[in-house]
Amino acid sequence: MRLIVVLMTFLLSVGSLSAQNFDFDKIYSRASEYTVAVNLVIEVSFGTQTTDAKNRGIGSIVSADGLVMFDGTPIDSEDPFSIMSGMQISAEPKSIEVVMMDGTKYTAEFIGIDRFTKIGFCRIITEDGKKFPYVQFKKRKSYKIGEWLALFTLLPEYVSPQMGVDIGLVSANIMEPEEFVLTAGFNELEITSILYDTLGTPVGVLGDLENPALSGFDASRMMDSFSQMEDFMPLLGVIGAEKLNKLIKDPPKRGKVDRGWLGIYLQALTPDIAEFWNVDSEGGIIVNEVVKDSPADSAGIITGDILVELEGHPIEVNKEENLPVFQKKISEMGAGAAVALTVIRRQEKGIDTLDINVTLVQAPISPAEAPEYEDTNFEIKVRDMVFADYNIFNLDSDLKGVVVKEVEPGGWGAVGGILPGDIIQSIDGVKTETVDDARAALESMDETKPEEVVFFVWRDSKTLFINIKTDW
């Protein structure tokens, strides 16, 4: 009997040990080898003003050759808040410094940022062959609500050591809009910190669940949701090993992200509209418009079609806020993916159900990814026009030019009257349809040194001529 009690006590204590007591000494000594501070220098511009901003955040070495993972949010040029506030963030950091916990500093080269997790990647530049200790994530199948998790938080620069422990727990297993293990007790500054379970296994990193209502370019929709404070409540949780290992194996390339694209304008099939149209579906995507020559167009999808199944699974989008979930799925499938869609077509004689196969293509690049050219004489930065420009401003597809991205105050361009957002159609009569055209036109002036240069620009749906006086 006594033995049983002793045994029980032992078992219980083991149980409680594994539930609440981490072997922090062990975790700490390992983590301190691959946990780093990442210092980014970012270019931020408001209108015509550009300044450099510094950002310090936590990172981890994830491969022996010095691949480092860090929080990419500060350099997320698609961040809806910066888009809305008119703040432009350079798509790439100007410089990256990786600081080890022992104080050793390395310069790193930017690799890219994952569009979905917002995790950034860079590689430490070293003399040949230096091997780094690195973290290896282990896949976890499921999480129990209430189970403990720990991470290391980055302490301010003026204290030493720079790492401290924080603990939290699994607070919910979220199922919609996507599966997500929610945690409690952590904060936003700890995003991208490695999460350890009670056994000390690195199971993932802290990330946040993107609020679908706040994603994308649709500023007006964001304005609508401003009244709801809950939209701003960050939902933090686990970005799992599976996703991370995939990213580590094939880190996102700078300026080039593989994103699948259908080429439709879309709207959610709400229960009300479904009922109004007598469509028997829990949800779906109403095709509002099909981009000409897009995959959807080639596959025969037409305006008014309702997409109800994707790869045999029902599309459960029944409110506008959940549209990004579908967009993300398509995007993640990547270019070249063959996608099976079930489509409902409403016709006068009744409702048809069609099976349509679409091969996705690479999504058009975003303004931030567009090739740029900076002219140091005229002190303007221009970029190629992208699909989004035509889409957002409802531009005629005949309109060709380069978009003025930045204008240095007091420079030739600024004094002459060039404004950010202008679309330069020609320079001294030479058509500028791409940044290469603009570069050729402007660089040739290094030799000819004209006293005046005439730009023909599009601004607010009107065109005008701008005379720029030079001062070689």
**Residues binding other proteins (CB under 8 A):** 220, 265, 267, 270, 272-273, 276, 286, 288-289, 303, 320, 391-394, 396, 428, 452, 454, 456, 460-465, 467, 469
**CA 32, CA 164: separation in Å to the nearest integer?**
10
List the beta bridge partners of residue 54: 41
Comparing CB distances to other proteins, the nearer of 24 and 393 is 393
Nearer to other proteins, 49 or 461 (CB): 461
Task: Collect all residues with Cβ–Cβ distance below 8 Å to 332 and sequence separation of at least 6.
Answer: 116, 259, 260
Which stretches of 241-398 are assigned E, i.e. beta strand? Answer: 260-261, 264-268, 285-290, 306-310, 313-314, 338-347, 350-359, 361-362, 372-375, 380-384
**C-beta of 310: minimal distance to other proteins in Å?**
20
CA 393 to the chain's CA centroid: 22
Token digits of residue 187: 């904060």
Q: CB 324 → other proteins: shortest distance, Å? A: 14
Q: Residue 249 or 462: which CB sits closer to other proteins?
A: 462
Using DSSP's 3-state secondary structure scheme, residue 417 falls into: coil
Residue 273 or 337: the one with the smaller Cβ distance to other proteins is: 273
If the CB atoms of residues 250 and 272 are measured against other proteins, the closer one turns out to be 272
Q: What residues form DSSP beta bridges with 353? A: 344
Q: How far is the CB of 446 from other proteins (least distance, A)?
A: 20
φ, ψ of residue 369 to 5 degrees: the values are: -90, -10
Of the candidates 266, 265, 260, 259, which has an alpha carbon nearest to the alpha carbon of residue 292? 265
Distance CA 84, CA 78 (A): 10
From the CB of 74, what's the least distance to other proteins, in Å? Answer: 29
Q: Judged by CB, which is closer to other proteins: 216, or 334?
A: 216
Q: How far is the CB of 229 from other proteins (least distance, A)?
A: 17
Q: 104 vs 394, which CB is nearer to other proteins?
A: 394
Tokens of 423: 């679309």
Shortest reach from residue 391's CB to other proteins, in Å:
6
In the complex with other proteins, the residue whose CB is nearer, 245 or 270, is 270
Q: How far is the CB of 233 from other proteins (least distance, A)?
A: 23
**Residue 289 Cβ, how far from other proteins at the closest point, in Å?**
4
For residues 311-342, one letter each, b for 16 or more C-beta atoms within 10 angstroms of the residue's C-beta and e for the rest, the string is eeeebebbebbbbbbbbbbbbebbeebebebb
